[in-house]
Amino acid sequence: MPPNTDKIATLVSQLLVELGEDPGREGLLKTPARVAAALEFLTSGKRADLKTVINDAIFTQETNSMVIVKNIEVYSLCEHHMLPFFGRCHIGYIPNGKVFGVSKLARLVDMYARRLQLQERLTEEISRVVMDSIGAQGVGVMIEARHLCMMMRGVEKQNSEMVTSSVVGTFRESRATREEFLALVGNRGT
Ligand SMILES: [Zn+2]
């Protein structure tokens, strides 16, 4: 069910009043409707259907080599403050006969990022869905992100980045596999 954007716009208008603003002034006239539309989009992953997102972009390929996709952009909303956190996601997996079309991994990241999230949970959800969708032998996901709720609220940690990782299957069981993944994604800017 899509959210009722008219109702959200009304609530945003009330919020503006509560913040001491005049929702009738020129610059704010369309703000409630804009915020409602933005929020609908930014939470649309919650209402997306996994099968539709993956479509049929899973291909048969006999390989046991690690597949790595680095630097997938992530934009999400922290559920504690409803403020953005953003950064990069790195995904590695060892297939078991099936691989993803590369763009689908980015779509999956978007699907789980477009909702109220925690970076830790986002990381785990991505590793789990990659694992389950292609029956991989193992998956590793690392997200490096900056949180506006930290950066904008005077904690003075403007350059701090939160790094989370989640490993499942052989990435969890095999230290060598895990270390290979971390070595491949760990060097920034490479
Ligand atoms: Zn926050």
| C-alpha of residue 151 to centroid of ligand 1, in Å | 10
Going from the Cα of 123 to the center of ligand 1, the distance in angstroms, rounded, reads 16
Tell me, what's the pLDDT at 189? Answer: 44
H or E stretch covering 100:
strand 98-100
Question: 119 C-alpha to center of ligand 1: Å?
Answer: 10
Q: Report the chain (190 residues): mean pLDDT per 10 consecutive residues.
A: 94 98 97 98 96 84 89 97 97 93 92 98 97 95 95 76 95 94 74
CB contact at 8 A, 92 and 139: yes
Q: How far is the CA of 186 from the centre of ligand 1 (A)?
A: 25
Tell me the whole-structure pTM to 2 decimals: 0.92
- CB atoms under 10 Å from CB of 64, counted, come to 9
Can you give the pLDDT at residue 153?
84
Tokens at residue 129, please? 């869905």
